């Protein structure tokens, strides 16, 4: 079950302070980086909600993000809706898709769940690639950003947009934490520990899984909307399974089932990607090696490792053992 | 020699057209079978999920293309499975043996990392440009059967797939080692209690699986252009095949390959708009109705 520890609050405060300071002082490229990190962070939050707290390792979250982006693009261009309505509509559409996917896949477990979600994501990818209304390989352009001139902000300015993305990330984080500590989030933890026990207690297991997958999909949809607004262009590449794979890598690098860890992972991943791409064109090699090293070390990602080191110094060890048990169960159930 | 050349116009929808499509579907199925059989038996025996199987296929194609350039086609076809199996031995001792006890998710992630590493390693060794592999003189012509022209090379792939299926079927059902493998798939703890060295068996199966992936790459190389991404693009079809067929069984691998090959080929002819979605929809349907696949190794 998710809970905030003082260490987690401290990490969040540190991340927020760094983000604000960096965004205030960054140049054009830095601001692009902030927006990119915020979008990825929202996506991995969504993935961690289902993978880390429900054992549902999804390989369709990239596709869900793509659905959100395309839905926003179509609603605001062809649909003629205003940006705020388009944003809400896109999030609702993605959540609905995710709910259906979650309901269909809820019977599968472990590797079969991974494959089932992969199939769903690839289905969306191929459909978007082929259907004419989505513009095929060329994608869709002419997407506008949210108009916040009422409160004196111009989101076409890089710095304002970066701040806007950070605010959205903050909202998404707060919402995820709220959902995870609600009845739904607690039921999901129960389902991850033992579906049979939850069934005996009267919970409707598939509904719990589908509902949480829907919520997570809505958050992934938000990431998609922001991605579409960021580059003002959508292409089928957003839905490719490798995007979902990368999101999973970020969750693992940061720390599965910690909610804060994936944020750390997103920052580390994007920074690493840009630093390494500057030095060599073989950044996949480095990321692959890091991923192998992290998984084989047995630590729960960067944040998970630091957290366990910090907890070791604390007299009260109850929280840590709880975490340890959960982590082991995620790894063995998935 | 591209599939497009083999497809007659939409007006020529007569019997020979369908036979041609059937042969195309068979050829695709057999190629997928070579890849999926190794992956599925490795999974069935040791519950090990090796996402890097597609990268081994790409490696086989590269080795075959390079060796063919130096020593001729046949050297390439012989060398590729051996080289990939040797690489498999390294992988086994370096990574896989240590990952045996971790859960499927850790295995998926480590082998996902391995895909990245191997992708860039092939780019470093062979460069970004596509390689073309030569087709041997002997097999490059067309054969006329019953008034139908079909490239010999594609027929050879079909026959090769059939032979390998037959060989594996014979080994698994008629020999002692086959009985040991089946026992290991069925219940590995019980099999080791009965004195079977399951670990050694897995090593053997893993090497054979790698060699088959290398062979698949080598025979596919003259048909496709050899690029670093080819391993990634074949991975999804291979996974679909083994999940539809059911993990761990030879019967599942061949059934899944045939279903994929025919749905893909005939789907492209009959419903071009839906062709790419069709196979995923089928996979989703199989997973909903029979979550463990059509012919799983364990009931």
Closest CA of chain B from A171, distance in Å: 30
**How many helices (H) and strands (E) are present in chain B, helices listed first?**
13, 2
Give residues with Cβ within 8 angstroms of B54, minimum separation 6: B35, B115, B230, B231, B232, B233, B234, B235, B238
Distance in angstroms (rounded) separating the CA atoms of residues B94 and B115: 15
Q: What is the torsional sign of CA B41, B47, B50, B54? A: positive
For A277, other C-beta atoms within 10 Å of its C-beta total: 12
Domain range annotation of chain A: 6-333
Nearest CA among B236, B241, B254, B251 for reference residue B286: B241
CB contact under 8 A, A285 and B116: yes
**How many helices (H) and strands (E) are present in chain A, helices listed first?**
14, 2
Q: Which pLDDT does position B60 carry in this prediction?
A: 93
Q: Searching chain B, which residue's CA lies closest to the CA of residue A334? A: B105
Strands (E) across B29-106 are located at none
Select A6-333's CATH number: 1.10.1200, 1.10.3470, 1.20.58, 1.10.10: 1.10.3470
Q: Which residues of B touch A330 (CB under 8 A)?
A: 105
ipTM: 0.81
User: Does residue A219 come out as left (phi exceeding 0), alpha (psi in the -120 to 50 range) or beta?
Assistant: alpha
CB contact under 8 A, A123 and B277: yes
A122 closest CB neighbour out of B114, B243, B280:
B280
* Torsion angle (degrees, nearest 10) of CA B265, B266, B271, B272: 20
- Distance from CA of residue B92 to its chain's centroid? 19
CB contact under 8 A, B106 and A127: no
Q: Which uninterrupted H or E stretch holds B166?
A: helix B152-174
Q: Which pLDDT does position A321 carry in this prediction?
A: 59
Q: Which pLDDT does position B6 carry in this prediction?
A: 47
The tokens describing A11, both together, are 């990490």
Q: Which pLDDT does position A28 carry in this prediction?
A: 84
CB contact under 8 A, A118 and B284: no
Q: Does A14 touch chain B (CB under 8 A)?
A: no
Angle separating helix axes B152-174 and B250-270, nearest 10 degrees: 150
Nearest CA among B246, B205, B258 for reference residue A111: B246
Q: Which pLDDT does position B62 carry in this prediction?
A: 93
Give residues with Cβ within 8 angstroms of A284, minimum separation 6: B116, B117, B119, B120
Distance in angstroms (rounded) separating the CA atoms of residues B245 and B259: 9
CB contact under 8 A, B239 and A118: yes
Taking the model in full, what pTM does it have? 0.85
- DSSP code, position B226: B
Distance in angstroms (rounded) separating the CA atoms of residues B119 and B59: 9
* B271-280 own/partner pairs: CB under 8 Å, 24+ apart: B273/A130, B273/A131, B276/A126, B276/A127, B276/A129, B276/A130, B277/A123, B277/A126, B277/A127, B277/A130, B279/B240, B280/A119, B280/A120, B280/A122, B280/A123, B280/A126, B280/B240
Distance in angstroms (rounded) separating the CA atoms of residues A251 and A232: 26
Distance in angstroms (rounded) separating the CA atoms of residues B248 and B38: 9
Q: Which residues of B touch A105 (CB under 8 A)?
A: 287
Pairing assessment for the beta strands B142-145 and A233-234 based on DSSP bridges = unpaired
Give residues with Cβ within 8 angstroms of A65, minimum separation 6: A43, A94, A220, A221, A223, A224, A227, A238, A239, A243
What count of residues does chain A have?
334
Question: Residues B273, A78, A213, CA angle at the centre, nearest 5°?
Answer: 70
Q: Which pLDDT does position B299 carry in this prediction?
A: 47
For A232, other C-beta atoms within 10 Å of its C-beta total: 14
- Contact between A234 and A70 under an 8 Å Cβ cutoff? The reply is yes
CA Rg, chain B, in Å?
Answer: 19
Residues of chain B with pLDDT under 70: 1-13, 298-299
Q: Does A260 touch chain B (CB under 8 A)?
A: no
CB contact under 8 A, B117 and A289: yes
B106 closest CB neighbour out of A123, A284, A331:
A331
Nearest CA among A119, A239, A242, A97 for reference residue B293: A119
Q: Which pLDDT does position B2 carry in this prediction?
A: 40
- Contact between A45 and A263 under an 8 Å Cβ cutoff? The reply is yes
Residues of chain A with pLDDT under 50: 317, 334
Q: Does B72 touch chain A (CB under 8 A)?
A: no
- Contact between A72 and A200 under an 8 Å Cβ cutoff? The reply is no
- Contact between A87 and A227 under an 8 Å Cβ cutoff? The reply is no
Q: Which pLDDT does position A101 carry in this prediction?
A: 93
Q: Which pLDDT does position B298 carry in this prediction?
A: 63
């Amino acid at each position: 079950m998710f809970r905030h520890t003082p260490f987690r609050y401290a990490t969040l405060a540190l991340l927020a302070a760094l983000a604000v300071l960096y965004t205030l002082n960054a140049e054009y490229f830095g601001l692009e980086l902030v927006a990119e990190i915020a979008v990825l962070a929202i996506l991995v939050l969504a993935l961690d909600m289902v993978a880390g707290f429900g054992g549902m390792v999804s390989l369709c979250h990239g596709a869900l993000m793509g659905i959100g982006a395309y839905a926003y693009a179509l609603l605001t261009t062809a649909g003629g809706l205003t940006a705020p309505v388009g944003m809400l509509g896109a999030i609702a559409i993605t959540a609905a898709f995710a709910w259906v996917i979650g309901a269909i896949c809820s019977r599968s477990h472990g590797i079969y769940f991974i494959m089932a979600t992969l199939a769903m994501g690839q289905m969306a990818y191929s459909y978007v690639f082929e259907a004419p209304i989505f513009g095929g390989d060329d994608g869709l352009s002419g997407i506008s950003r949210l108009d916040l001139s009422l409160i004196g902000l111009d989101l076409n300015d890089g710095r304002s947009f970066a701040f806007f993305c950070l605010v959205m990330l903050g909202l998404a984080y707060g919402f995820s934490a709220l959902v995870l500590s609600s009845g739904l989030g607690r039921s999901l933890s129960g389902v991850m520990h033992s579906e049979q026990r939850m069934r005996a207690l009267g919970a409707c297991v598939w509904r719990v899984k589908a509902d949480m997958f829907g919520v997570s999909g809505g958050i992934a949809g938000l990431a998609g909307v922001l991605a579409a607004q960021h580059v003002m262009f959508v292409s089928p590449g957003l839905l490719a399974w490798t995007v979902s794979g990368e999101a999973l890598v970020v969750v693992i690098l940061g720390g599965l089932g910690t909610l804060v860890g994936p944020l750390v992972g997103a920052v580390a991943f994007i920074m690493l990607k840009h630093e390494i791409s500057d030095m060599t064109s073989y950044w996949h090699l480095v990321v692959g090696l890091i991923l192998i090293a992290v998984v084989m070390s047995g630590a729960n990602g960067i944040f998970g490792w630091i957290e366990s080191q910090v907890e070791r110094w604390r007299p009260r060890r109850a929280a840590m053992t709880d975490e340890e048990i959960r982590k082991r169960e995620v790894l063995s159930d998935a | 020699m591209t599939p497009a050349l083999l497809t007659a116009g939409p007006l020529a929808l007569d019997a020979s057209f369908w036979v041609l499509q059937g042969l195309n579907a068979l050829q695709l199925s057999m190629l997928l079978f070579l890849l999926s059989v190794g992956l599925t038996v490795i999974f069935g025996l040791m519950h090990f999920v090796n996402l890097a199987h597609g990268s081994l296929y790409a490696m086989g194609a590269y080795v075959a293309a390079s060796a063919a350039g130096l020593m001729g086609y046949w050297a390439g076809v012989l060398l590729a499975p051996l080289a990939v199996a040797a690489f498999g031995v390294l992988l086994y001792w370096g990574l896989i043996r240590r990952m045996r006890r971790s859960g499927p998710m850790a295995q998926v992630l480590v082998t996902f990392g391995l895909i990245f590493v191997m992708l860039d390693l092939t780019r470093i060794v062979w460069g970004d440009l596509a390689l073309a592999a030569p087709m041997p003189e002997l097999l490059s012509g067309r054969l006329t059967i019953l008034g139908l022209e079909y490239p010999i090379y594609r027929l050879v792939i079909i026959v090769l797939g059939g032979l390998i299926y037959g060989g594996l079927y014979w080994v698994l059902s008629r020999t002692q080692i086959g009985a040991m493998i089946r026992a290991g798939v069925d219940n590995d703890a019980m099999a080791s209690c009965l004195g079977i060295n399951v670990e050694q068996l897995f090593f053997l199966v893993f090497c054979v699986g790698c060699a088959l992936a290398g062979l698949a790459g080598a025979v596919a190389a003259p048909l496709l252009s050899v690029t670093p991404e080819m391993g990634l693009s074949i991975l999804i079809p291979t996974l679909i095949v083994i999940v539809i067929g059911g993990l761990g069984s030879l019967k599942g691998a061949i059934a899944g390959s045939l279903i994929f090959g025919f749905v893909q080929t005939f789907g492209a002819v009959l419903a071009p708009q839906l062709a790419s979605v069709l196979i995923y929809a089928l996979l989703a349907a199989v997973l909903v109705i029979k979550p463990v696949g059509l012919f799983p190794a364990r009931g």
